[in-house]
Amino acid sequence: MPIKTAAIIGAGIAGLTAALALARHGVRAVIFEQAEALTEVGAGLQISPNASRILNTLGVLDALQPVWLEPKEVRLVSGSSLRLIASVPCGSFARERWGSPYGAVHRATLQKALLDAVMTNPLCTLHLGQPIDATNKQALDATIGEEADLIIGADGVWSKVRTLVPDGPSPHFSGNIAWRFTIPEALASRVLDRTSVTAFLGPSAHLVSYPIKENAAFNIVANISGSSASHDWNAAGTKAQREHLLSRFSGWNDNIRTMLEQQEKATFWPLYEASAGRWHNGKDVILIGDAAHAMMPFAAQGAAMAIEDAFELAGMVASRPLIEALDLFEKHRTPRIARLRQRAAFNHFAYHARGPVRMARDLVLSMRPPQSLAADLDWVYGYHAIG
């Protein structure tokens, strides 16, 4: 029989989306979040058409579109000369080609839109400031007031629910560091494009910039290799770590170098990823989002994959016997996640290329029209999740 009640551990993007998707099928969703309040760390994120299509189905997109930016294009630019290498059109082109918009928005804005929808849905219940030991099923059921048919681990890369899944994934440091910060638009350098997502490329580093319309600011992420495996996110970073950051941007355009030197509030994010492993226990526990498959952000699909996971899991467990649904979900999702991991790894290699490889990259990309580059992304952005 399809399930009636699910306990969701974690109230991030994956958990809140899962609750709304389950409620759409008449399944009660009870969310447990140990934080006293939902204060999403990070800054901006990109919502590609494969994810915005789902948010529209769940009734959330209307709250985002008035405040988000639909970039004119995604641009690849030389970090030293600022020469445009290649671009992929977005805006109206994305709506026409992939059937749904491409938007850039603050992470907190998306989370609030999901939270507002959860709070007004009679089938969704949220418990804040309530850490839950998912291994204690009796206590979990007592809090819910009935037996949970399914436990969904949406608790991120450091998932505790993962311990309930034999042979599950395990987190490990990727060897990459992301430095994140925002700049008020009025103070931003003229080299930052106010209409598009821009990836500045250079040997051993790349920097992504795009406007966050609702904050009148630019979201900036500087990606470099690093040796720190700290678990701490949102940290200021040491003097040595900041010097390492600047050394990776040696030889870049002076405006970009100056921008990095002036960012005293930039935060240091070691990037962790999850190894391959089982996502469910064959009975009543399933992992989604970063808990199942945390990956590098170099394809800008982390949030989108969490949204896809949540939506497709809900459709499967609401229409099939639970064990069959869990197995089908894992078999259905893992090839797509694996392919996106490969895409992210390729982007990382290409973005950080040097010497002859960099010259070959630039030549090949410059010869391809934007529509041709867009076609390479049809399998990502044109994906229609099953729900």
pLDDT tens digits, 306-362:
999 999 999 999 999 999 999 999 999 999 999 999 999 999 999 999 999 999 999
Is residue 112 domain-resident? yes
Across 123-131, average pLDDT: 90
Residue 108 domain boundaries: 5-170+274-381
Question: Is there a contact between 365 and 357 (Cβ–Cβ < 8 Å)?
Answer: no
* Of the candidates 324, 277, 269, 276, the residue with the CA atom closest to the CA atom of residue 297: 269
122 Cβ neighbours under 8 A, 6+ residues apart: none
pLDDT tens-digit readout, 160-184: 999 999 999 999 999 999 999 999 9
The answer to whether residue 266 is domain-embedded is no
Q: Give the domain CATH number at 113.
A: 3.50.50.60
Distance CA 374, CA 94 (A): 9
Nearby residues of 170 by Cβ (< 8 Å), 6 or more positions away: 162, 274, 275, 277
Question: How high is the pLDDT of residue 131?
Answer: 79
| 216-245 exposure pattern, b = at least 16 Cβ within 10 A, e = fewer | ebbbbbbbbebebeeeebeeebeeebbebb
The pLDDT-based confidence of 387 (bands split at 50, 70, 90) is: confident
Query: 234 lies in a domain?
Result: no
Cα gap 154→13, rounded to integer Å: 9
**Residue with more model confidence, 293 or 147:** 293
- Non-local (6+) Cβ contacts of 360 within 8 A are none
Residue 129 within a domain = yes
Please report the DSSP string for 126-137 in residue order: EEES----TT-H
Total domains present in the chain: 1
Higher pLDDT, 384 or 40: 384
Token digits for 229? 């495996």
| Domain-located, residue 264 | no
pLDDT tens, residue by residue, 83-116: 999 999 999 999 999 999 999 999 999 999 999 9
Q: Which of 134, 265, 280, 132 is closest to 187 using CA atoms?
A: 265
Could you tell me if residue 262 is inside a domain? no
pLDDT at position 105: 94
The whole-number pLDDT of residue 279 equals 98
What is residue 241's predicted lDDT score, i.e. its pLDDT? Answer: 87
* Helix, coil or strand: residue 47: strand
Would 194 be classed as within a structural domain? no
Q: Is 261 inside any structural domain?
A: no
Question: How far does the chain reach from its first CA to its final CA, in angstroms?
Answer: 17
Give the model confidence (pLDDT) of 222-248 as tens digits: 999 887 656 655 577 788 888 899 999
pLDDT confidence tier of residue 20, bands split at 50, 70 and 90: very high
Triad 47, 51, 55: Cα angle to 5°: 100
Beta strands in 190-266 (DSSP E): 197-202, 205-212, 217-225
Instruction: Compute the mean pLDDT over every residue in the chain, rounded to the nearest whole number.
Output: 92
- Predicted local distance difference test score (pLDDT) of residue 110: 95
Rama region for 55: left / alpha / beta (φ>0; ψ in -120 to 50; rest): alpha
Confidence band for 194, pLDDT divided at 50, 70 and 90: very high
Q: pLDDT, tens digit, for every residue of 135-156?
A: 778 878 888 888 899 999 999 9
Rounded Cα–Cα distance for residues 111 and 114 (Å): 5
